Amino acid sequence: MTREITHMKAFALALESMGKPAFSIGRIAPTPGLVDQFFNDSTGAGEHGEIDTRGPWNEGNGWVFTESPAIQAEPGASAIVTESSPPAEQAGLTDLLIDELRDILHAEKQLTKALPKMAEAARFDQLRELFEQHLVETENQVERINECFELLGKTARAKPCKGMMGLVEEGQEVMTEGEEKEDAAADLALIGAAQRVEHYEISAYTTAKNLAQQLRHSAVVALLSKSLAEEENSDQLLNQVARSLMSVAKMPAAIEQVE
């Protein structure tokens, strides 16, 4: 209980710092079938057994009680609900995963070229440093994709990612238009372009990770999860810089109002 209180305190304060309600847990709502399960992991009656106590913490209120899932695999024992469906039609899924990885590889390679330009265009140090830091991460992400291909026994070959080409092109436009803008407005527009890129990458990595998960390829899942976490972190950092720039950008308007 003491440990749980520590966790809840830390989570609540972290959520507060992000401007979220104290009990909003993650971006994805808890899956009803999963969170309602209680697994009775005690050894039950017998010489070394424990008393299987039932109460409101595992009984009624929608709880699904599952008897010692690890100990008895008897037929008729209640089935454990898991997140993914049983592996099926593996070949088709592997092809899909390879296809996703080829697309991501091309997307990331385009970004290793676009990010230095974005860093150069950024007017505020905070944003420039963020782009520079994400360039290093992006280079590692290219390496991770290559590792994924190796683990899957395939040649690392990129496939033109038209979505990212469009986003990079839009980013280029934003930078050209930004030349005419004042510093905060130019950087805010640049952040907008960068966040579109991050969200595109987040969806690509999520799809690839889900496919790898279904294929039970834990090493590939681990690599993709790492890159996915970096993209999500980068998106959050861009949010933070945008928030501080918005307060800077507001100032001239406030002065005008006073006048």
Considering only residues 109, 164, 201, 241, which one is a binding residue for Fe ion as defined by CB under 5 A? 201
Considering only residues 110, 135, 141, 190, which one is a binding residue for Fe ion as defined by CB under 5 A? 141
Structure tokens at 49: 């057994």
Q: What is the CA angle 189-191-194, rounded to 5? A: 115
- Over the window 153 to 192, marking each residue x when it contacts Fe ion by CB under 5 A and - when it does not, the resulting string is ----------------------------------------
| Segment contacting Fe ion by CB under 5 A, of 118-126, 144-152, 196-204, 208-216 | 196-204
Nearer to Fe ion, 117 or 181 (CB): 117
Nearer to Fe ion, 108 or 187 (CB): 108
Q: Are 227 and 134 in contact (CB under 8 A)?
A: no
- Over the window 90 to 129, marking each residue x when it contacts Fe ion by CB under 5 A and - when it does not, the resulting string is ------------------x---------------------
Q: Are 197 and 167 in contact (CB under 8 A)?
A: yes
Q: What is the CA angle 2-6-11, rounded to 5? A: 145
| Shortest distance, position 232 Cβ to Fe ion, whole Å | 9
Buried/exposed 191-215: b ≥16 CB within 10 Å, e otherwise:
bebbebbbebbbebbebbbbbbbbb
| Shortest distance, position 137 Cβ to Fe ion, whole Å | 7
- Judged on CB neighbours under 10 Å (0-12, 13-18, 19+), 225 is middle
Nearer to Fe ion, 11 or 168 (CB): 168
